[in-house]
Structure 1
């Protein structure tokens, strides 16, 4: 059996374990279909459509990236087939001989293709960067937070993302009450397009009963970029009455209408950032006075070093950062290396994260609203590979 193994002979005089000798991509099983079996009853009852699972190509065909050093490997998983292909075609050859303990040099390694910008290219660059942190951590015996400058806190608050739930479902208030009782830092509910089209009164009625059920808990909304500018402007007074902690992506991330929302003066904190994958877009959002709350995903934004940079910049500009939960191990490492003023909480997706965690031998769980920061080597456990392992050729 052969791997996508881009390999080079050991360099004379270089014996460090952190030097990349080969790059491999191992195929993982597809994401399980349906809802996680361990969901609390109030949450499961309010679920809308189950997570896409194998219906989405990126969940159906998944890979783990392995960077092979001298006697130790660094891992990142899962990545979609399109992302793995970019790593194979454009990045793998340039990784050979790279010292994973020198993250600032990674951007200058040779690239063999034309993919530089855009979501998939940035996910590929992020996957490689995170695998390098994992390799450096395993090789040196230091935690990733230690490599980032030291562990500031061993546990981080989690806020519950209810994006897999239907806010109009009769059981939704019970789910909102359960989230508060479970100790989460706060809860975030979706604004589906049909609810947006129903108008501000329908939004006020639907979200109002959830806000009441949440009690004193923090309450956020996510429009997933589905609002037109006029729709978002009409919703701002409703969201102000609900006293939302922040409103996420009322407009598409690249929209230039954000300043209109800020100029409305309703006092609703506006959040964005997870879909700002390229450096120029991140800088525009952060410094353009368009948003009040920064959101970053280390698996999309360029990796941990870039995420730490934008988190520090956001703090200098008076903004808190809430890392997106798609790459939870990286988000936790980032949060563990920052104080609570810079990163108050990390996202925990109620219906998706338990499915994502199934690739690891020991899944991470929320306890009393807190998530543990890994203080031992490795960004996360190495993913569980199928018994019949298939490598990408």
Structure 2
């Protein structure tokens, strides 16, 4: 007589989520970070710090699996609230090792689009990658399809430095000598309003100090259309590698700028967070350089998809640096033609790294791609209990 076959229940996946916790973090400290090089500190402007609500009240997201935890930090209070209220219930029971299923988990509430909703979705997705990597004991780049390179060049973002300061040229020279891939300088409101001739004089001094290194500018969407159009010949004369967000991307103004910008590559994308807008901007021939932030654009899988689409269109991607560990994992999964460099913010990134137990620091302008499990080091917690928690019953 044949014995019946025993059917054993499958063991619980170590990356299946059983709880979600949101932990308070220390606020971003006021003032400049300690240890800045003297030429940078001399011309630097103090960051907003606790004056911004998202810096004053910060949280870390922990997704708890059967075999460990995954993390993402920091989040502002508005983003943390969406994560807890709208995303957490549907996240319980999800296996972080199955990233394509995440988008189909139940969501409550009405928050689907807009900056905070996309940051919340990105936070959950990045925490899941961290959990999947830790429980699989493999680097995130391995889970993305393989580590293509072990290190990635960084460009120095001088957005925290006043280009009108008398010491700004010394900071530009230091950036060059430090080995950065290039450097990006702000078009401040004061500089824009001073007119094209003054812009040319100020940026010309910085361009000369930068030597043969790559030179970029960022207006953070501050220009009026007429101002942006008048600046294009100046930027062309300076041979900038790209001009970022002279105007908010998209719309009639951007189309006119794009038509007129002969010889000046236009960069955009970091603030374009909703999927339809991202695809429209990329496929309409509206940008020469694509920028995305995995922490804003929908997560790492979405950023990789957009990066590959940009590459198919012949557009290089320069990931935004606000979530540097995710940007570094993205870049480590791509070749240098697809992602030539990522952003290192000279005055803000050291402050961001203070919340990590394993802070990132460039060495001769290069960042090492993480070869151990996890997206980054776990955050430095300041409380003995989470502010919010939801778990399976």
**TM-score over 0.5 for the pair:** yes
Q: How many residue pairs were aligned?
A: 381
Instruction: Summarize the alignment of residues 324-339 of structure 1 with structure 2, pairs less than 5 Å apart.
Output: 324-339=320-335
Q: What is the CA-CA distance between 1:299 and the residue it aligns to?
A: 0.1
Which residue of 56, 61, 76 corresponds with 1:60?
A: 56
Which residue of 15, 20, 33 corresponds with 1:36?
A: 33
Instruction: Summarize the alignment of residues 7-156 of structure 1 with structure 2, pairs less than 5 Å apart.
Output: 13=10, 15-48=12-45, 50-156=46-152
For 2:149 and 2:162, the matched residues in 1 are separated by: 34
Q: Do residues 351 (structure 1) and 347 (structure 2) align?
A: yes
Which 4+ residue blocks in structure 1 deviate beyond 6 angstroms?
A: none
**Residues 61-100 of structure 1: CA deviation (Å, up to 9, x unaligned):** 1000000001300100000010000001100000001010
TM-score normalized by the length of structure 2: 0.95
RMSD: 1.1
Q: Which of these two proteins has the greater Rg computed from alpha carbons?
A: 2
**Residues 8-64 of structure 1: CA deviation (Å, up to 9, x unaligned):** xxxx7450011110110000000111101110000000112x111111110011000
Unaligned runs of 5+ in 2: 1-8
For 1:348 and 1:291, the matched residues in 2 are separated by: 22
Match in the other structure for 2:313: 317
- Equivalent pair of 2:248/2:254 in contact (CA under 8 Å): no
For 1:392 and 1:200, the matched residues in 2 are separated by: 51
Q: What is the CA-CA distance between 1:375 and the residue it aligns to?
A: 1.0
- Equivalent pair of 1:258/1:291 in contact (CA under 8 Å): no
Q: Do residues 367 (structure 1) and 375 (structure 2) align?
A: no
Match in the other structure for 1:258: 254
For 2:261 and 2:95, the matched residues in 1 are separated by: 49
- Equivalent pair of 1:167/1:189 in contact (CA under 8 Å): yes
Q: What is the CA-CA distance between 1:266 and the residue it aligns to?
A: 2.5
Q: What is the CA-CA distance between 1:116 and the residue it aligns to?
A: 0.2
- Equivalent pair of 2:232/2:261 in contact (CA under 8 Å): no
For 1:338 and 1:388, the matched residues in 2 are separated by: 39
TM-score normalized by the length of structure 1: 0.95
For 2:269 and 2:170, the matched residues in 1 are separated by: 30
**Residues 252-281 of structure 1: CA deviation (Å, up to 9, x unaligned):** 124332222222252100000000000011
- Equivalent pair of 1:24/1:391 in contact (CA under 8 Å): yes
Residues 163/265 of structure 1: CA separation in 2 closer, same or farther (3 Å cut): closer
Q: Could you say what secondary structure the match of 2:86 adopts?
A: helix
For 1:65 and 1:254, the matched residues in 2 are separated by: 33
For 2:261 and 2:30, the matched residues in 1 are separated by: 43
For 1:303 and 1:74, the matched residues in 2 are separated by: 14
For 1:236 and 1:370, the matched residues in 2 are separated by: 31
Instruction: Summarize the alignment of residues 238-317 of structure 1 with structure 2, pairs less than 5 Å apart.
Output: 238-317=234-313
- Equivalent pair of 1:27/1:392 in contact (CA under 8 Å): no
For 2:260 and 2:343, the matched residues in 1 are separated by: 28
For 2:246 and 2:383, the matched residues in 1 are separated by: 44
